[in-house]
A = this chain, B = another copy of it.
């Protein structure tokens, strides 16, 4: 393995085009192919590479739906398109099994999956930085050649991702828990919003927006993903459904028959233990959120926040960043609590903790209000 000088991306959707853009940014020659000529043309115009004319490349990245990965792999291998092959599908056992069944060369193929996405799809939504700091699973088998693994590791590194080696079946169970079942659950919560009275939506806060954000994703694309990981996802969804049904039963039991249970439910008093079972579920949830690692696999980065009140005028943020620059402080991230139409909002400036005193002092000295 001497490097990746040229790469072929087959399938110029969101993920394929983002891989292409990331590799181009690192000086790799990228060839593009898609069964839809318009998608290739758009990806090319976005600077993702050049149309593939059959050149042999170091690595082919198969960025097509999970069900058609193996067929695409076989076709490319027959054509001798690349030294090594990988894919980016969200499930891994299915393409590996199908590839074996149809007689693909399993030495040059290493299955992969970047854990990155957006609610939008297609090449126009692609971003060169989509994989920065994100996990990227790679699932070699006993038949995969070490050189193929090394090639994929290099590709992941060039894209800015964090390689996570994992068995394919283990991968599929993991993404059922951390991606696929959460997606369906978000859809089920959002489905309630579809049938709620309009007035109820007027009370929607940030919480429900966060819970349901991913439910805006493309239903057809997600049907393909879920279909390719059906049983592991079903296992998780059944567990979630059971917890929610139990919580509903506990809530009814806590209210007791007088609070509106169906007539004939008997005259049992409200169950004083019932809410304890709900609390227990909430506690398990807190434990679960605490196990999510920070962006780079370690604990979440400890930036400190400096909050400042800002006006709704052009240039307000420019002046603020200028003050930070003059104070020698790099603002790592900024979050605006901006209420259009209202005169004031607040900006949360995320900075290295040691920069807080200097920034706060500089902002105050220039007349900014820090709450």
List A residues at the B interface (Cβ < 8 Å).
21, 25, 46-47, 115-117, 127-129, 132-135, 137, 160, 164, 166, 170-171, 173-175, 177-179, 181-217, 219-220, 222-223, 226-227, 230-231, 233-245, 247-249, 251-252, 254-255, 259-260, 275, 278-279, 281-293, 295-297, 301, 307, 309, 312-315, 317-318, 321-322, 324-325, 328-334, 336-342, 344-346, 371
A238 to B371: give the CA distance in the assembly, Å.
Answer: 43
Residues from chain B with a CB closer than 8 A to the CB of A199 are 164, 166, 170, 174
Contacts of A279 in B (CB 8 A): 219-220, 223
Are B281 and A184 within 8 A (Cβ)? Answer: yes
**Complex contact A240–B188 (CB within 8 A):** yes
**A259 touches which one: B170, B231, B288 (CB < 8 A)?**
B231
Chosen A-B contacts, 16 in total, with CB atoms closer than 8 Å, are A128-B346, A132-B339, A133-B339, A133-B342, A135-B204, A170-B197, A183-B207, A192-B288, A194-B285, A195-B284, A201-B291, A215-B288, A227-B275, A230-B254, A314-B329, A318-B321
CB distance from A240 to the nearest CB of B (A): 5
**CB <8 Å contact, A192 and B181:** yes
Find chain B residues with CB under 8 A from A281 CB.
184, 187-188, 191
Residues of B within 8 A of A234 (CB): 247-249, 251-252, 255
Residues of B within 8 A of A204 (CB): 115, 135, 178, 292-293
Tell me if A288 and B190 are in contact (CB < 8 A). Answer: yes
Asked if residues A190 and B46 are in contact (CB atoms below 8 Å), the reply is: no
- Cβ–Cβ contact A282 & B223, under 8 A: yes
A160 surroundings in chain B (CB, below 8 A):
339, 342, 344
The 8 Å CB contact of A240, one of B134, B192, B200, B328, is B192
Q: Check A244/B240 contact, CB under 8 A, given A203-B179, A314-B324.
A: yes
Q: Which residues of B contact A116 (CB under 8 A)?
A: 205-206
Q: Let me know if B194 and A211 touch, CB within 8 A.
A: no
CA distance A55 to B345 in the complex (A): 32
Number of copies: 2
Partner of A371, one of B117, B129, B166, B182: B129
Indicate if the CB atoms of B194 and A174 lie closer than 8 Å. no
Residues of B within 8 A of A206 (CB): 116
Give chain B residues whose Cβ lies under 8 Å from the Cβ of A190: 284-289
**Would you call A192 and B211 a contact (CB within 8 A)?**
no
From A216, A279, A288, A314, residue with most partner B Cβ within 10 Å: A288
Using A223-B279, A318-B321, A345-B132 as known contacts, say yes or no to A203 and B166 having CB atoms under 8 A apart. yes
Contacts of A217 in B (CB 8 A): 282, 286
CB distance from A22 to the nearest CB of B (A): 10
Question: With the chains together, A148 CA to B76 CA distance in Å?
Answer: 74
- CB-CB under 8 A from A129, the residues of chain B are 309, 337, 339, 344-346, 371
Expressed in whole angstroms, the Cα–Cα distance for A242 and B240 within the complex equals 11
List the 7 shortest-distance A-B pairs measured between CB atoms, nearest first.
A187-B285, A133-B339, A318-B321, A190-B288, A193-B288, A174-B200, A219-B282
B contact residues around A236 at 8 Å (CB): 192
Expressed in whole angstroms, the Cα–Cα distance for A230 and B260 within the complex equals 10
Q: Which residues of B contact A314 (CB under 8 A)?
A: 324-325, 328-330
